[in-house]
Structure 1
Amino acid sequence: MSTAGGSAAAFRELHHRPGAPLLLPNAWDHASAAALAAAGFPAVGTTSLGVAAAAGLPDGAGRTRAETLRLARGIGGGSFLLSVDVEGGFSDDPAEVADLAAELAEAGAVGVNLEDGRADGGLTPPRLHAAKISAVKSAVPRLFVNARTDTHWLGGGRGAETAPRLAAYRDAGADGVFVPGLTDPAAIAAAVDATALPLNVLAAPDGPSLTRLAGLGVRRVSLGSLLFRLALGAAVDTAVGLRANGVLPPAPAVPGYAEVQALASPGD
C-alpha cells in the first residue's frame, strides 16, 4: 500500500474504533494545525470559517478555493492526518469539485468535508450534492468523503429531509455523514439509526459529553470554528483588559515564543 493509501486507511479506521468517537479539532493555519498535532491529536480538520476570516473573505460563499488549497499544501502530508473543509466544493460542477479533491489528495489530505448548505440559507438539491460526492470518489477513491447536510444547522424546519439526504449521500459513495446542529440525544440517536455510515456531530456546550455521544453511536465529533473563535475572543479580551486595568488579565496557558517558533520546524 502506498504512503498516501496507508494514511487514508488509518484515517478511515479512526472512525471505526470501539469506544470513544474520533475527536477532530479544526485548525485555520499552519501554527494551529501543528500545535494540535503536537498535543497528540492524530487527525486534524480545517475550519472554512477560520480560513476565510483569516483571508478577509466570507465563509460559505465559495470564494476561498485558493486559500484552502494553499493551506492544505502547507500542512498536508505531515505528522498528522488532514481532513479539509471545502464548503460545497467551491463549484456546482461535480467535475470541478473532483479536480479540487484530487489536488487536495496530492497535497496530502486524506479526507474532505463536503457540505450541502448554501450561502443564501438554502440547501443544494440532494441529487446535485450526491453527484459531487460520486465524482470525488471516482477521482480519488481513497479520499474519505464526509458528506455534511445542513438540514438542522440552517434551521427552517427541514429536519425531515435529513434521513433521505443521508441515504442519498451514502448511495453516492460517501464514507461518513455529518449533521451539525444536533444536540438533543434523541435526535442524535435517530440520525445514527438513519445511516450505516459513521455519524459526525459538532461539539456544543449544551450538547452531550463525548462519553454520551459514544453511547449514542456517534463516531466522529468536530469542533468546527470554535477554536478559531475562542482564540479571537481571548486575544481581544487580553488587549481590552490591559487597556482598562493597566495590567494583563489572568489568562489560560499561553505557549511561549520558542514553543510557537518550533511549530514552524520542517516536518511539522
Structure 2
Amino acid sequence: MTPFAALHHRPGRPLLLPNAWDHASAVALAAEGYSAIGTTSLGVAAAAGLPDGAAATRAETVRLARRLGRDDFLLSVDVESGFTDDPDEVAALAVELVQAGVAGINLEDGRADGTLAPAAVHAAKVAAVKAAVPELFVNARTDTYWCGHEDPEPEAVRRLEHYQQAGADGVFVPGLVEPAAIARLVGRVAVPLNILLTPTGPGLAELAELGVARVSLGSLLYRAALAAAVATAAAVASGGAVGPVPGYADVQALSGS
C-alpha cells in the first residue's frame, strides 16, 4: 500500500484533503501540516480564465502537477473526466502525472452538459489507468447527486460497483450530504468513500463517525479566497479595517527561491 493510499485506511480518522489551485496555495497548506494536498479543477480553470469540466485545462493541470509534484507533500490531482473519453489517452495522462510525482487522481463521470457518462465508459478509463500505473490512487467520482438524477442513491451504488470492479482505489460522491444515506453508502462500497465537505452538510467529526475515509474541500478554499479578496477591497474603499494578511516576504518565501 502506498503512503497516500494508507491515509485512506485509518478508521475514525478520515483524510482531510484541502484543495489548492496554484503553487502558493498548495505550499501554504502544506506549511500548516497537511501532508496530502489535492487540486481543485474549478480553481485551476477559473484562474486561467477557462471553463471547468469542459476538458479545456489539460495543459494547465499538467503544468501545475509538474510544479507541485516536486514538493514535499503527497499530491492528488483533479483531472475532471480525464479530458477525453479515450481510455488509452486517459492512461497516458496518468503515466505523465505519475512521472511528475503525483500520488493520486480524481476522475469524474460528470460531463459539461450536466449529464453522466455511461458507467462502462468511465469504468474503462479507471481500468486503463490502473493497468498503466497500478501505484496511482484512483478516486472514481460519480456526479449522480449533482446531475439531477431522479433516484440518485441506487444509481450511485450501481456506478460505484462498476468503478470498484474496474480497479478504483476509492470512490467519491459529491453532493451527498444526508447522514443516513452516507452511512448506507459506506456499508455498500468495498473501498474508501470520499465525501465533499459543504457548509450545510455534516462536519468532519460527524463524517468520521459515519465511516467516511476521505473528506475533500473541493473548490471551497478557492471560493473563500475570492470572497476574502473582494471583501478586503470593499473594506479599503469604505475605510474599514483590513484583517491580518501574510506579508510580502512571507508569500515570496512560498516560491522556495
Task: Say whether the fold is shared (TM-score over 0.5).
Answer: yes
* Cα separation, 1, equivalents of 2:33 and 2:84: 34
2:241 matched residue in structure 1: 249
Aligned partner of 2:69 among 58, 64, 76: 76
TM-score w.r.t. the length of structure 2 is 0.97
Post-superposition CA distance 1:23-72 (Å, at most 9, x none): 00000000000000011000000000000001100000001000000000
- Aligned identity (percent) is 66
1:84-233 alignment to 2 at 5 Å?
84-159=77-152, 160-233=154-227
Deviation at 1:77, TM superposition (A): 3.2
**Residues 201, 190 of structure 1: CA spacing in aligned structure 2 closer, same or farther, 3 A cutoff?**
same
RMSD of aligned alpha carbons = 1.1
Tell whether the 8 Å contact from 2:12 to 2:211 is kept in structure 1 after alignment: no
What letter matches 2:110 in structure 1? Answer: G
1:19-30 alignment to 2 at 5 Å?
19-30=12-23
* Cα separation, 2, equivalents of 1:29 and 1:191: 33
2:249 matched residue in structure 1: 258
Secondary structure at 1:221's aligned position in 2? strand
**Residues 154, 249 of structure 1: CA spacing in aligned structure 2 closer, same or farther, 3 A cutoff?**
farther
Secondary structure at 2:194's aligned position in 1? strand
Please, which runs of 5 or more residues in structure 2 have no aligned partner?
none
Deviation at 1:248, TM superposition (A): 4.2
Structure 1's consecutive aligned runs of 4 or more residues displaced over 3 angstroms after TM superposition are: none
What letter matches 2:241 in structure 1? Answer: P
Question: Could you tell which deviates more after superposition, 172-181 or 76-85?
Answer: 76-85
Are 2:42 and 1:49 aligned?
A: yes
* Cα separation, 1, equivalents of 2:165 and 2:49: 37
* Cα separation, 1, equivalents of 2:75 and 2:163: 22
Please, which runs of 5 or more residues in structure 1 have no aligned partner?
1-7
What is the aligned length? 256
What letter matches 1:186 in structure 2? Answer: A
**Residues 118, 167 of structure 1: CA spacing in aligned structure 2 closer, same or farther, 3 A cutoff?**
same
Tell whether the 8 Å contact from 1:117 to 1:150 is kept in structure 2 after alignment: yes
Question: Could you tell which deviates more after superposition, 111-120 or 188-197?
Answer: 188-197
Post-superposition CA distance 1:137-196 (Å, at most 9, x none): 011000000000000122232412110101000000000000000111011111111201
Tell whether the 8 Å contact from 1:14 to 1:22 is kept in structure 2 after alignment: yes
* Cα separation, 2, equivalents of 1:118 and 1:194: 25
